[in-house]
Amino acid sequence: MNMEMILKHFEAAAINPKGQLKEYIGKGKKAIGCFPYYVPEELVHAAGMVPFGVWGSNHKTIEAAKEYFASFYCSLAQLNLEMGLDGTLDDLSGVIVTTLCDTLRPLSQNFRVAVPKIPFMFLAHPQNRRKEYGIQYTISQYVKIKEKLEEIAGHPITDADLKASIKVYNQSRKARREFVKLAGEHPELVTPIQRSAVLKSACFMLKEEHTQLLEQLNELLRQAGPSQWAGIRIMTSGIVADSPGLLNILEENHMAIAADDVAHESRSFRVDVPEDTDPVRALARQFGAQDHDTILYDPEINKRPEYLVKLAKDSGVQGVIILMMQFCDPEEMEYPSLKKALSEAGIPHIVIGVDHQMKDFGQARTQIQAFADILATM
């Protein structure tokens, strides 16, 4: 396939996850919904089922979920519950819900009570994740998930199955990291919307299928000549950055996403799983090695500002756009430290409040246009 055909394939999967899910179910597969963050998808894959990302929706309105959440809860949590309540997730054979922030915790319990027809798996990651006691706790949690998945699948998950899945996922992470780098080098070939679709579609496709296509795309990007891009290179940071309305505004202003620090994107594939003898322990060690995330505790010092500055400099971007999820306390509390670090490093940035319900982009368009004008004169 040529580049255009591959990109269209990824876009089709990204904009129609329900169709993608029905296709897998039609082939006799079961699917497990994986809520944010850091679900060990390899366990689902090793069980012969499809890990299916559930990260809210840009196409739904929050209605029934209002009965379970106060109005100041983030749209991601509310929409995940909304999709459970309105039947969107009915084809799933189970869901895994994590609890790493003060919004995900009540989401987990609300979902358990409000959507009893979907088998529910509660995953409580430890914040003290690096020490041996943290690794042991993570292992205990993963073993519980593994046992429930075996029950749903109807067969055991062997170490050999899990090791094979870890290899598949490490290959996927490597290919996605390479794509982010190549797309940043060739923004004339990959628009912000196309970039988002490539990364988002990985949530809805079996990783071996996604990687096979992505490696073809990466090779085509590697073969491309020197970039003729004359626009602006930026970096995005936040939880999600898949709003077509916002991505269109970036494209209108000749802005390319050369790098990202987005939970839904690069944060999810930064760290590989060690290919060790004990695969469950390897998964726990991978979580222990995760860092530079708003919702992860750092016992020493807050390194995220330093990390963000280094990522921006290494990527050669001209500015940073922080997409702050509305009503997200962790993001709001960390912003002053990010602002200080970026300002001291001389890296221009703006903050845009976002949520999945965003329909009016007038204010965001004005902010981005003004930011583009500033960056163009620097």
Q: 3-state SS of 49-106?
A: CEEEECCCCCCCCCCHHHHCCCCCCCHHHHHHHHHHHCCCCCCCCEEEEECCCCCHHH
Residues with Cβ < 8 Å from 329, sequence gap 6 or more?
101, 102
Q: Rounded distance, CA 153 to CA 116, Å?
A: 19
Q: Rounded distance, CA 336 to CA 348, Å?
A: 14
Neighbours of 158 (CB within 10 A): 11
Residue 299: in which H helix or E strand, if any?
none
| Report for 214-218, 297-301, 356-360: range of highest mean pLDDT | 214-218
Is residue 265 within 8 A of residue 241, CB to CB? The reply is: yes
User: pLDDT at position 95, please?
Assistant: 97
Residue 225: in which H helix or E strand, if any?
none
Paired with 322 in beta bridges are 237, 351
Angle at CA of residue 116, ends 111 and 119, nearest 5° = 90
Q: Rounded distance, CA 93 to CA 149, Å?
A: 10
Residue indicated by tokens 């995760």: 290
Tens digit of pLDDT for each residue in 226-248? 888 889 999 999 999 999 999 99
Tens digit of pLDDT for each residue in 35-84? 999 999 999 999 999 999 999 988 889 999 999 998 888 899 999 999 99
Residue 355: in which H helix or E strand, if any?
none
Torsion sign (Cα): 200, 331, 169, 31: negative
Tens digit of pLDDT for each residue in 128-185? 999 999 999 999 999 999 999 999 999 999 999 999 999 999 999 999 999 999 999 9
Give the side-chain half-sphere CA count within 13 A for 156: 3
Task: Give Cα separations from 181 to 121, 175, 293, 301, 316 (angstroms).
Answer: 35, 10, 20, 28, 11
- The amino acid sitting at 69 is F
Paired with 351 in beta bridges are 322
Residue 9: in which H helix or E strand, if any?
helix 3-15
The two tokens of residue 169 are 């996922």
Give the N- to C-terminal CA distance of the chain in Å, as an integer.
40
User: pLDDT at position 349, please?
Assistant: 97
Q: Give the pLDDT band (50/70/90) at residue 276.
A: confident
Q: Residue 71, by phi and psi: left (phi above 0), alpha (psi -120 to 50) or beta?
A: alpha
Written out in words, the top-level CATH class of the domain with range 27-158 is alpha beta
Q: Give the pLDDT band (50/70/90) at residue 1.
A: confident
Paired with 354 in beta bridges are 325
User: pLDDT at position 222, please?
Assistant: 96
User: pLDDT at position 351, please?
Assistant: 97
Residue indicated by tokens 């491309």: 224
Q: Residue 48, by phi and psi: left (phi above 0), alpha (psi -120 to 50) or beta?
A: left
In this structure, what DSSP letter does residue 347 have?
A: -
- The amino acid sitting at 345 is A
Is residue 293 within 8 A of residue 208, CB to CB? The reply is: no
User: pLDDT at position 132, please?
Assistant: 96
pLDDT at 300 > cutoff 80: no
Instruction: State the pTM of this model.
Output: 0.95
pLDDT at 299 > cutoff 90: no
User: pLDDT at position 314, please?
Assistant: 96
